[in-house]
Amino acid sequence: MSEIEEPDQDREAIDTGGEDPLTEIDEIVGHWSDLRQESLSEQARAEIEHMRFQQEFRDVTGSVIRPTMEKAIERLRKDGGGGLIEEHDVDILHKPRIVLWMSLEGEITGTPREDRNPFLRLDSDVVHRCIDVWEGDMVGGQGTSRAAAPLAISDVTSARVMGRIIDVLRRAGTHGVAQ
C-alpha cells in the first residue's frame, strides 16, 4: 500500500523564480468571468433577436397574412364553401401561429382538424428566423398533411400567401370525387 505524501508546508513545492503563483488563479478566474459575461451578453442578444422576430411575425400576420386569409374565406363563402382563422400567440404550449381552415362545401362545423379540413398553417420559428409552413388538403378522408418549404419574413407577400392557399385548394379539390 502506498502512502500519500503530504507536502511540507514549510517548503515551497514550486520554484516560481520570485513570481507569485497565485496570480495564475487570478488569471484563470478572470478569464472564466470574461467568458461567462460574454455568454450572458450573447444570451441577451439572442433573446432580443427572438423577441424582435416574434414582433415581425405579428406585424406581417396583421398586415399581410390575416387580410389575405380573410379574402380567401370571403371568396370561399361566395362560392359555397367556408373557412375560419385560428391564431395562437406565444405561450407555454404554442409558438406564434396562424391557421387558415377551409371548407369546399359549406361552413366548417365543429372543431376543424388536420385529418378532415384543408388548411394552411404558418408557425413562427424564432430559432431559424423563418416561418414554417404546413399544408393539408384533406377532404372526404382523402389527401395529405405535410410540411412545405419555409418562408423568410421578407418573402411574405399577399400574392405568395394566396398562392399557397390556392395550391392547397387545388389539391383538395381533387379529393372525394369519383374518377
Helices 158-172, 66-78: inter-axial angle, 10-degree rounding: 40
When pLDDT is averaged across residues 137-141 and rounded to a whole number, the result is 87
User: How far, in Å, CA of 134 to CA of 144, rounded?
Assistant: 11
User: Higher model confidence: residue 7 or residue 64?
Assistant: 64
> pTM for the complete prediction?
0.75
The residue type found at 61 is T
Cell of 23: 496570480
Task: Tell whether the model's pLDDT for residue 42 goes beyond 90.
Answer: no
Q: What is the pLDDT of residues 47-89, one digit of tens each?
A: 888 889 999 999 999 999 999 999 999 999 999 999 999 998 8
Number of H-type helices and E-type strands within the chain: 3, 5
